[in-house]
Structure 1
Amino acid sequence: MNENIQELGFFDVVETRRSVRIFDQESPFDHQVVQKCLEAATLAPNSSNLQLWEFYRIPESSALKKPLDQLCMKQKAASTARELVVVVTRRDKWKIRTKANQEYIKETYKNSPESKQKKALAYYGKLIPRLYSKYPLWSFLKQLIAWFVGLKRPMIREVSETDIRVSVHKSAALAGMTFMYAMKAEGYDTCPMEGMDSLRVKKLLNLPKGAEISMIIGCGKGLPDGIYGKRFRVPNEETIFIK
């Protein structure tokens, strides 16, 4: 933990975390904390445990830091950051991650009833390929099947190619939020950014076609000027409901 900050409880972290857009260039910054917090982020919940994410660290000493600042539209949250973390989705790795889950299940359930292992393996051997495979018209056909089955019983409706892409980005966002909370718990500030030239960022990082940029997170010790006013939220009554 950063020695200059008192240990925070979870709700303290939630209350004090802000998107800080200007970071201190002079105060000490422990880059190892970023690694620690990213390792915590990999424990975030994610769809089907496929873990279709990657995290690229760009510290201030990296030759890629200044070019990446420019691709973040010259935002101060990027240019003053002591390190940038690029959160990348890798939907294209679903087969590799599926295989890893299958191997884990075989090892975990080797002494369990065969029916339990069979059911778990069927999830990754049948359902996941049906959702993640790409064939001509397959996205449309999945939606048609979901609509037809849904006439008779409850059915998952979000099965299109766009829906799967959104699901992968949701998982990456959960990891990103976990990372930012962890950084705050360690006494550092962050700022998630969507304003970027994602195409050029992919080229800069030499990422494959199937990769997508979910967000870029600036990290550092925030300056007071980096918080643009008091936090504003609409009343809870407008967003939280009991039925």
Structure 2
Amino acid sequence: MDFSAVIEARRSVRKFNQDSEFDHHKVQRAIDLALLSPNSSNMQLWEFHRVIDPQKRKLLAHFCMGQNAATTARELVVITITPQKWKERAKRNAQVVRDNFQSQSPQRAARAFQYYEKLIPFLYRNDRFGIFGRLRQILCFFLGLKKPIVRQVSKADLRVCLHKTAGIAAMTFMAAMKDQGYDTCPMEGFDSKRVKKLLGLAKQTEICMVIGCGEGVPEGTYAPRDRVPNQEVVFTH
């Protein structure tokens, strides 16, 4: 199936076949591809939790408000963001730059070191009501008077950024599943507190979405696809 066919064929399917064979290895393959998705500063602050065990899957479906896409799923994938891991990822990225670019391009390596060892800590330690938040707001105001500057760098902005990153990975995952002949349904309706407890997630970890996986049945697609006219959402400048 070519890319355009995959995208056109992918639908949010809310009911899955309970009798057909299901290859869990294909879920892992789709996750492997999702991990290649672009992400902010290559920080990779995401996790993919595969729920295969029947009892845990049943509990998770219950915590997803008993949605058909959860109760009939052959496997559930929970995609999360992990902002608390920013230090180790920044350190890792800086080391990768050292290993790959130090001998080839010292100037490029120096810029990358500065980014991961100075700017990233400054941004990720930012707190709207703390010293880093106030300092950032002041610097942003004065520097922005003379030149363009990134302004969406509050703690809330970074949280949005990580969820966007996880959303890109989720779309890659769902497209990869469709390419292998399986359907998916992303879900936002869930009890995050109970889901985090079920999966043993850290306090700072946030759930982006839960994705039901399986072979869709005809009645699992509730209606023909409907989109607003392109001219309402696409603009040329």
- TM-score (norm: length of structure 2): 0.96
Letter in 2 for 1:22: K
Looking at structure 2, the residues matched to 187 and 69 of structure 1 have their Cα atoms a distance apart, in angstroms, of: 23
Match in the other structure for 2:137: 143
1:36-185 matched pairs, under 5 angstroms: 36-59=29-52, 61-134=53-126, 136-185=130-179
Match of residue 229 from structure 1 = 223
Contact 1:71 1:197 in 2 (8 A): yes
Amino acid at match of 1:90: T
Kindly indicate whether the alpha-carbon contact (under 8 Å) linking 1:143 and 1:159 is maintained by their aligned counterparts in 2.
no
Aligned partners of 1:26, 1:106: CA distance in 2, in Å? 52
| Residue type at the aligned position of 1:229 | A
Q: How many residues align?
A: 235
Rounded to whole Å, the distance in 2 between the matches of 1:83 and 1:141 is: 46
1:102 aligned partner, one-letter code? A
Instruction: Give the SS at the match of 2:213.
Output: strand
Cα deviation, residue 140, structure 1 = 4.1
Query: C-alpha distance in 1, partners of 2:195/2:122?
Result: 31
Distance apart, 1:146 and its partner CA? 1.6
**Equivalent pair of 2:182/2:214 in contact (CA under 8 Å):** yes
Q: Are the aligned partners of 2:15 and 2:216 in contact in 1 as well (CA < 8 Å)? A: yes
For the Cα contact (< 8 Å) 1:146–1:159, is it kept in 2? no
Deviation at 1:110, TM superposition (A): 3.0
Instruction: Establish whether residue 209 from structure 1 lines up as the match of residue 200 from structure 2.
Output: no
1:145 is displaced (CA, Å) by: 2.3
1:137 to partner: Cα distance: 4.4
Measure how far apart 1:143 and its partner are.
3.0
1:21 lines up with 2:45 in the alignment: no
Cα RMSD (Å): 1.1
TM-superposed deviation, 1:31: 0.3
Q: Give the C-alpha shift of residue 117 in structure 1.
A: 1.1
> Could you give the per-residue CA deviations for residues 189-229 of structure 1, whole angstroms, max 9, x where no partner exists?
00000000011111111111110000000000001111111
1:192 aligns with 2:186: yes
For the 8 Å contact 1:140–1:160, the answer to whether it is kept is no
**Shift, 1:134, TM fit:** 4.4
Q: Distance in 2 between matches of 1:121 and 1:215?
A: 33
Q: Which amino acid aligns with 2:97?
A: I
Identity across the alignment (%): 51
2:34 matches 1:33: no
Question: Aligned partners of 1:47, 1:178: CA distance in 2, in Å?
Answer: 15
Aligned-residue offset at 1:148: 2.4
Structure 1: where are the runs of 5+ without partners?
1-7
Contact 1:102 1:124 in 2 (8 A): yes
Q: Aligned partners of 1:113, 1:229: CA distance in 2, in Å?
A: 55
Q: Which runs of 5+ in 2 are unaligned?
A: none
Higher alpha-carbon deviation: 229-238 or 104-113: 104-113
Moved more, 126-135 or 152-161: 126-135
Return the offset for 1:111.
1.8
